[in-house]
Amino acid sequence: MTRKWLRWMPAVAVPAVIAAAALAGSLPASAGDPLPAKTPAEVLALVAQHTAPSLSGTLEQTSQIGLPELPQAGASSGSGAASVLELLSGPHTARVFLDGPSNVRVQVLDRLAERNAVRSGDQVWLYSSKDNTATHLTLPAGAGHSRDFGQYKHPDAGMHGVMPTPEELAERLLAAADATTEVAVLPEVNVAGRAAYNLVITPRTEGTLIGSVSIAVDGQSGLPLSVELKARGQEEPAFKLAFTSLTLEAPDASLFAFSPPPGATVKEIQVPAHGTGPLGKGHRPMHGTESGVVPDAVDPGAVPPDAVPPDAVEPGTIPPDAVRPDYRNPNGGLPRPTVTGTGWETVVEFPASPASAEAGAMVSGDPLLQQAAVAVPGGRLFSTAVVNVLFTDDGRVFAGSVPADRLLTAAAAR
């Protein structure tokens, strides 16, 4: 009898070993060398001074922001807004290859399909394997630096035409944010096998939907490794974007040489040439008042050399009070919005205009979006765990990371 039981031992032991291994694997791996302790300002400075890296990595995104689950495969056939929503909702895996600021390749790995964005210098290709279409555009000169760190800096910083040091910048950001926001460095975390500082930003107010924002900053390079957005009262992150693997080496140069495959439908998009992006626009008047006529070509502040690449990790570095709509939308797709409230409780109002009417019509027209937007007194409310958008019947649009009734109050006030 005992002999018989002995024979069954492996059948018991093997699952036990696997369960133990799975448990051990899910525990946070203890990092070898603890990182030196840093204050939030020092961590921010570390982020600010990190140079354009060469890296290959895999990004994983999960989101539970309360959007309806859209079918993953339907990405390329839907409208533009639907495909953006599709990217924001549900899980996604993407591979990112960076070589300096101007060689970028992002591959969104769909099931049995792939979406590619390749940038080499000023040449940009978008390719979708699902419908075998390629889109080509040529970036206007200087556009590569439109998202450099300078545009997030405190408005005062540019007055002297001198780039502040990262440390100064961090101090100023923290000082400006302190009234509304608590910034802390929590015990270090391990992201993609790398020890990282865990910078946690918590709003001091109750009047926002945002619970906290955590950014994991690589202890060695200062590269943000993950961004995690938690809605108030939610245990699971509403949105998380994190590297699952990362090597800080230059990827194969052939990855950035893209030409449309034979048989693909190729579309050309003309990009209107305009200045040097928001930074250029913001700077030139300042220099004009300061030192008379400064030719654009030698404008010293326009393009700092340590431009941050336009990778998707960066948004986490934007302090809440720096996200002003006029920075986001320099080309004026929507009319200039009005902002009420401060800090985390900011409500942005877009007055009635053809563009906002178009957006409203899109919400009520698209069946998928319609499902997400609910009718409220005076309009339709597009509600997620972290952002609420109200389309009023008279064509105005209100948006903010605030409870829905605050948007309704704001809409009723005018």
| Listed ranges 32-40, 107-115, 203-211, 343-351: which one lies at the site for other proteins (CB under 8 A) | 107-115
Question: Within 13 A of 336's CA, how many CA atoms are on the CB side?
Answer: 1
CB nearer other proteins, residue 30 or residue 254? 254
Say whether residue 120 binds other proteins (CB under 8 A). Answer: no
Say whether residue 258 binds other proteins (CB under 8 A). Answer: yes
| φ, ψ (nearest 5 deg) of residue 262 | -60, 140
Which amino acid is it at 222? G
Answer for which of 28, 32, 36, 262 binds other proteins (CB under 8 A) is: 262
Answer for which of 78, 87, 130, 232 binds other proteins (CB under 8 A) is: 130
Report, in this order, helix, strand and coil percent for the chain, each rounded to 5: 35, 30, 35
**What is the Cα 349 distance to its own chain's centre?**
22
Answer for which of 64, 107, 226, 346 binds other proteins (CB under 8 A) is: 107
Place of tokens 């002999």: 3
Answer for which of 72, 129, 138, 340 binds other proteins (CB under 8 A) is: 129
292-302: burial string, b at 16+ Cβ within 10 Å, e else: eebeeeeeebb
Say whether residue 264 binds other proteins (CB under 8 A). Answer: yes
**Under rule CB under 8 A, which residues in 59-78 are in contact with other proteins?**
69, 76-77
CB nearer other proteins, residue 58 or residue 120? 58
**Under rule CB under 8 A, which residues in 5-44 are in contact with other proteins?**
7-11, 13-15, 18
- CA–CA dist 47, 64 (Å, integer): 27
> Least distance from C-beta 14 to other proteins, angstroms?
4
Which residue, 321, 65, 315, 70, is CA-closest to 181?
Answer: 321
Dihedral over alpha carbons 64, 65, 69, 75 (to 10 degrees): -110
Say whether residue 263 binds other proteins (CB under 8 A). Answer: yes
| Listed ranges 27-35, 122-130, 171-179, 367-375: which one lies at the site for other proteins (CB under 8 A) | 122-130
Q: Please, are residues 232 and 204 in contact by the beta-carbon 8 Å criterion? A: no
> Least distance from C-beta 53 to other proteins, angstroms?
19
Answer for which of 252, 290, 296, 326 binds other proteins (CB under 8 A) is: 252
- CA–CA dist 277, 33 (Å, integer): 42
Please name the helix (run of DSSP H) or strand (run of DSSP E) that holds residue 54, with its range, or none: strand 54-63
- CA–CA dist 141, 310 (Å, integer): 15
CB nearer other proteins, residue 33 or residue 69? 69
Say whether residue 253 binds other proteins (CB under 8 A). Answer: no
Say whether residue 266 binds other proteins (CB under 8 A). Answer: no
> Least distance from C-beta 240 to other proteins, angstroms?
15
- CA–CA dist 281, 146 (Å, integer): 10
Instruction: Please count the residues of this chain forming the interface with other proteins, following the rule CB under 8 A.
Output: 38
Say whether residue 87 binds other proteins (CB under 8 A). Answer: no
- Residue 97 CA: distances (Å) to CA of 46, 54, 58, 274, 311: 22, 8, 9, 27, 10
Say whether residue 193 binds other proteins (CB under 8 A). Answer: no
Say whether residue 136 binds other proteins (CB under 8 A). Answer: no
Q: Which residues bind other proteins (CB under 8 A)?
A: 4, 7-11, 13-15, 18, 58, 69, 76-77, 95, 107, 109, 111-114, 116, 125, 127, 129-132, 134, 245, 252, 255, 258, 260-264
